[in-house]
Structure 1
């Protein structure tokens, strides 16, 4: 890729009058040796998987294999349809859709890791709810996925996207930043505004630990996806309003690396700390072990 930092990405876009998505599509085609049309078609297929996961998560009576979670996406969707959500209709849908996709993941359904399976609900939640809100066609959202991918590429190459390496800030935090920056672009914002939205999103997830109960991507991961989708909408609004990340976004990504590197092992997807080691967390872990003695937990 011709860029390694978001500053470089934004500068190239400004110099060549490209959106982030357009630049990423061209770079991906060059990197893969495939035509832009073929690369776009592959990304379009990923977006269909995301939309299918939203639909299945809302329509199915889901339960995770452990039995810890299931049906929260439907509950949120039904609540949003009958009541006036405190966060508003659009954000209420984004939350419901993110929960639904995460529940599909927990029940062994098909999802797209964006950037990981543990954070798979945030981008679909933001994108599908935004598509419904504005009536955008699929092609527009696919271009938005290339923008999200460019942001994720920079984060992955300068920090973490894995909870085992850098805590949940690396998974949910990265997904929030990717969704926020892409949404700014989808709504007509500049690459510079998109980059600031990423920084605003990442700053407010720094230090978020990865503490899955029983080592499963269910509790608290699914709820974090739902709330993360709402955070992404808020960060995008700030970026579009001209709010700037006082600390440059690339420096925020560097701080994520620093914080993640210093995070205790107990708080990096080991289930040895945080919510996993509360009395209830330990009790649930023992119950799951007893129910599935062949499990590797």
Structure 2
């Protein structure tokens, strides 16, 4: 296949030869593999953006708090506090958006797994709140951002993991942060090499992060990790856009991520037997939940 790729190096090589962006390469690759038209693919991504917007709005609706077993309403709290935060109003809104989606997911609402349900708040916060609402990017630019994010996710899925059960939370929120960082960087006119550098920095910032959901639910600490990973994505993109690059190349960072995931004890990979899930409070919450379930 003309547009087949298996690494960041492959993508950068093709982009340079064809004089195209990561998003354009991903679009051509998807058209080639799926035999669908550009319009069909972009329409599907347009629908994904619509769902992302809805999941943010649902989680921030003060008349319809999204509640999981242990969580709910935190996105609204940080949104209310936005004007007084130390991080600034803009970042607070990004954080609130990421938590809103994660809370919508916890309450069984409709979300886009990007790349997973547990990390579903990060890319919407970057694309919709930061990209659309704050930077004013149009929908076609946002769709390109989704394509770029997809390329990053594909490479990580092939060479490492996007599942907490096999790679820890670095594989979920770390991948989502990398996807968001690369997407934002490209939307801000970064080169393919710069976009991959942003993705590498995002992964390095959470390398080794374990997956330790309390009671096995994608709530604690997952929702707050979506918030942190959203900030990670924005920061990683800004570092690269300012002229700072990742010393370790993206493909090597992904390989490190894979190696770290393999070396993690099973208790730290979504089994709810280690980390925060093994604390006394978490154990009591699990017992309480089991009683409620009968």
Shorter-chain TM range is over 0.9
Once residues 124 and 269 of structure 1 are traced to their aligned partners in structure 2, the CA distance between those partners, rounded to angstroms, is: 24
Give the corresponding residue for 2:44. Answer: 42
Aligned equivalent of 1:268:
269
Is the aligned partner of 1:61 residue 2:51? no
* CA distance in 2 between partners of 1:179 and 1:125 (Å): 9
Give the structure 1 partner of residue 148 of structure 2.
Answer: 147
Instruction: Tell me the distance in 2 between the aligned counterparts of 1:134 and 1:199.
Output: 23
- Distance in 1 (CA, whole Å) between partners of 2:73 and 2:14 is 44
How many residue pairs are counted as aligned between the two chains?
290
- 1:61/1:70 contact within 8 Å kept: no
Quote the offset at 1:241 in angstroms: 1.4
Q: CA deviation at 1:142?
A: 1.0
Q: How does 1:50-89 map to 2 (within 5 A)?
A: 50-59=52-61, 60-66=63-69, 68-80=70-82, 82-83=83-84, 85-89=85-89
In 2 relative to 1, CA 252–231 (structure 1 residues): closer, same or farther, beyond 3 Å? same
Kept in 1, the 8 Å contact 2:31–2:38? The answer is: yes
Would the aligned equivalents of 2:67 and 2:73 in 1 still touch at CA under 8 Å? Answer: no
Runs of 4+ in 1 over 6 A off after TM superposition: none
5 Å-filtered alignment, 1:134-283, equals: 134-283=135-284
1:4-25 Cα deviation digits (max 9, x unpaired): 1011111211221111111101
Q: Distance in 2 between matches of 1:183 and 1:2?
A: 23
Q: SS of the counterpart of 1:242?
A: coil
Q: 2:14 & 2:238 partners in 1: Cα distance?
A: 24
How far does residue 63 in structure 1 lie from its aligned partner after superposition?
4.0
Q: Deviations over 1:154-179 (max 9, x none)?
A: 00000000000000000000000000
Partner Cα separation in structure 1 for residue 88 and residue 250 of structure 2:
28
CA contact under 8 A between 2:197 and 2:246: conserved in structure 1?
A: yes
- In the alignment, which residue of structure 2 is the partner of 1:16? 18
**1:196-251 deviation digits (Å, cap 9, x = unpaired):** 00111111111100000000000000000011101110000011112111111100
Gaps of 5+ in 1: none
Residue aligning to 1:100: 100
Tell me if the contact between 1:6 and 1:249 (Cα under 8 Å) persists in the aligned partners. yes
Aligned-partner Cα distance in 1 for 2:215–2:227: 20
Which residue is 1:5 aligned to?
7
Q: Is the 1:62–1:107 Cα contact (8 Å) retained in structure 2?
A: no
Q: Deviations over 1:67-96 (max 9, x none)?
A: x1001111111111x42x222222111100
What are the Cα deviations for residues 275-294 of structure 1, in whole angstroms up to 9, with x where unaligned? 0110100000000000012x
Say which is worse superposed, 162-171 or 15-24, in terms of deviation: 15-24
Inter-partner Cα distance in structure 2 for 1:276 and 1:134: 38
Provide the aligned C-alpha RMSD in A. Answer: 1.0
